[in-house]
Amino acid sequence: MTNHLLWAPQAWIAGAWQHDVLLRVGSNGCWAEVQANQPAPAAAQVLPGPVLPGLVDAHSHAFQRAFAGLAERRDGAQDDFWSWRTRMYGVALRITPAQLRAVATQLYTELLRGGYTQVCEFHYLHHSESGAPYADPLAMSRALVDAAATAGIGLTLLPVLYQRAGFDQATLRGDQRRFAADLPQVLALRDGVRALAAPLVDAGVAVHSLRAVPPEALHALVRAVAHDPGPIHIHIAEQTAEVHDCLAATGTRPIEWLARELPLDARWQLVHATHALPAEIDAVAASGAGVVLCPSTEANLGDGLADLPRWLAGSTPLALGSDSQVCRHWPEELRWLEYGQRLTLQQRNVAARPDIGMPSTAAHLYGRSLAGGAAAAGFDHWGLAVGARADLLVLNQRAPGLLGVPGTHWLDALVFATEAPAFSQVWVAGRRVVAGGVHGAAAAAEDSFQAAMQALWA
């Protein structure tokens, strides 16, 4: 790919559309040159439409793709996150490494078609169905790495520290037996994934939640990763029950406890953070940590709505996650993010910021997600900029939601008027993985996925 030249009629650079953009891919798969207002060289490959940077999917549980759409019935008097979780555990207890590879490959091809070019995998399925360790401790991690390689997506693998079932319980429950991982195991998984030296793959660590990890283990984790640049992710304040339990156990709310007790910094990513008070949001902003919102999953599970205006008002990095995989298309996630606020506040264009020159809701949310996703995955550079990985999306201007729309409103129409992926091409590290809206590995991935689903649900 040395000096491979691309040329786009329009490209989204530094928060605005630029015209006649020359893009040179370096031998390392990163952008070596990005210049606007350049005529198309004879040697350049002309891209067939406007170009956007890909987004990072900052929170994924790949195995839950096998459960998407299968928890939408209620047989009892009530259904909530906790009853959904019990049913989801049934899949977690059955899936094998080979099935996980098939499910993740299908998911990752779908994420690419949906405009994600990197995925952060919050990975807690470590052990065999019985709970005993595999002979190869990396068996489930390798399944995800192999799936990412097949799909051609970048992967940040986050092995999860998971030690107890709740604040008042010393151990995990029987149906959580595959998740057990103490600090030495998590660090060994992180280092084992890094040692694979797989292209486009890196690793950090994750903490399942405050309820799942005792304070002394959290402090030990902080000491262990003090000099490691990798990201640190944690589920926090997703459910009101979690907030109440944390108050009962510690006298403080989850985000309040985290910000007070641990030295948060830019490596930390708070996933969901749905139930946060203004003072907690301000404390996170002051720490430099980021927040990862998962709008479609939070809606599907009945989690509640984050205080989006407060998060956006500060400097907190904000990223998107597909989480339970009921949606694999980032424009729809942004639509859910804004529409939840509109329904609650009875206002329109809640996320727009004309006061800072951002009258477009879609452009503001996309720009924040672009920067926040990079931090969540551990990247210093991201987007159409020299030094960033050479990822891009080509818009299909003939997609139903984009057809005839003026160029000034392409992002608005993509987020609020387009109901399906509208990317004709997707490139990762200078390599085209989606062409004509079709992933090259889609047919084989679909066959393997269907076989895995039949085995899991027979």
Residue pair 157/144 in contact (Cβ under 8 Å)? The answer is yes
Which residue intervals of 225-329 are DSSP H helices?
240-250, 254-261, 278-287, 295-300, 308-313
Secondary structure (DSSP) of 255-285 = HHHHHHHS---TTEEEEE--S--HHHHHHHH
For residues 80 and 66, what is the distance between their CA atoms, to the nearest angstrom? 19
Query: Residue-wise over 317-335: b if at least 16 C-beta within 10 A, else e?
Result: bbbbbbbbbbbbbbbbbbb
- The amino acid occupying position 249 is A
Crossing angle of the two packed helices 97-113 and 442-457, in degrees rounded to 10: 130
Please list the helix, strand and coil fractions of the chain in percent, rounded to the nearest 5, in that order.
40, 20, 40
> Measuring CA to CA, which residue among 3, 30, 8 is closest to residue 381?
30
CA triple 322-195-375, angle to 5 deg: 35
For residues 335 and 117, what is the distance between their CA atoms, to the nearest angstrom? 19
Q: Please list, in sequence order, all residues whose beta carbon lies within 8 angstroms of the beta carbon of residue 458, skipping any fewer than 6 positions away.
A: none
Three-state DSSP at 133 gives coil
Which residues does the annotation mark as catalytic?
272, 323
> Measuring CA to CA, which residue among 208, 181, 163 is closest to residue 61?
208
Measured from the Cβ of residue 352, the count of other Cβ atoms closer than 10 Å reads 18
- Distances, alpha carbon 290 to alpha carbons 113, 162, 284, 400, in Å: 26, 21, 7, 34
Query: Residue-wise over 243-275: b if at least 16 C-beta within 10 A, else e?
Result: bebbeeebebbbbbbbbeebebeebbbbbbbbb
Take residue 275 and report the two structure tokens written for it.
Answer: 């139930």
Measured from the Cβ of residue 131, the count of other Cβ atoms closer than 10 Å reads 16
- The dihedrals phi and psi of 184, each to the nearest 5 degrees, come to -60, -35
Residue 332 half-sphere exposure, CB side, CA atoms within 13 Å? 18
CA 233 and chain centroid, separation:
11
